[in-house]
Amino acid sequence: MPNKETKHSYSIQSVDNALDVLEALCTEGEEVRVSHLSKRLGMNKMSLFRYLATFENRGYVEKTKGSGRYRLGQAAYETGQKLLFRNSLLRKAKPAIEKLARDCNEAIYLAVPRGNDFLLLDMVDTAQQIKIIPLLGNRYPMQAASAGRVMLAHDNRHREACDSDAMENIRADLAAILTRGCDYDNGGFGEGIASLAVPLHNGDGDIPGSLCMIAPEFRLTREEAVHKMLPQLLAAGDVISSKLGYIEHLINTTSLEKEIAFEA
């Protein structure tokens, strides 16, 4: 099997550049001018125009009439939807996420690892009027917030993908998270935002993602998280993990023991 260096040598620069354009359009989240993309990507406008024209011909990019700005097209959306439909974790987690969001009336997210980052892949929002603007599709450093830290604490593969200095700085925190089986943080997703996360396990002993509740800090206090939300989050995580082939939770630490460990 080719190693990372060999794989890198196989890269085609023009394809890399084209994917950079698509990823930039995706992260911008709105219509953008060529001048903005050119500056952001460090790419000359002539080359950028060619990439955009090619994507436009295939439906992956749309050019708005009048403004001359660009945005992702219908073909990109359709491709993304097909990928999500085939995502086993997403399909198996969705019913539990929907139920948890209804029961707790808070936003629930499914986070998955992406190298040394994690991605908020799916969510079910709260019906409450005061809530956090949806963070769906955003990426964050693994160590930045609870959704990533629970994955780091429970799976060495994720720690190896991250910067060693960053891991050293949070080593004690990760040990505590491993004992508790969950993590609460205030501010990891932004000022005034609190979150509570638990890891998801599969039958191979890996951590393919995490389940995370995100809410305003005045509502999701540490006390509220520990005594009210944690048991429900753990139960939902167990349901999803069971669907992924994990069975050890049936004989391991109870949610009450984890709640006590959280307060210690």
Which residue is listed with tokens 């993309």?
37
Q: What is the pLDDT of residue 250?
A: 53
- Please give the pLDDT value at position 86: 63
CATH of region 87-263: 3.30.450.40
Please give the Cα distance from 119 to 141 (Å, whole number). Answer: 9
- Report pLDDT for 170: 84
The CA distance from 121 to 100, in Å, is 16
| pLDDT of 6 | 47
Architecture of domain 4-79: Orthogonal Bundle (1.10)
Q: What is the pLDDT of residue 260?
A: 44
- Distance between CA 110 and CA 89 in Å, rounded? 9
Where are the domains positioned within the chain?
4-79, 87-263
Task: Please give the pLDDT value at position 85.
Answer: 59
| Ranges of the chain with pLDDT below 50 | 1-2, 4, 6-7, 251, 254, 256-257, 260, 264
First to last CA, the chain: 46
- Quote the pLDDT of residue 163: 72
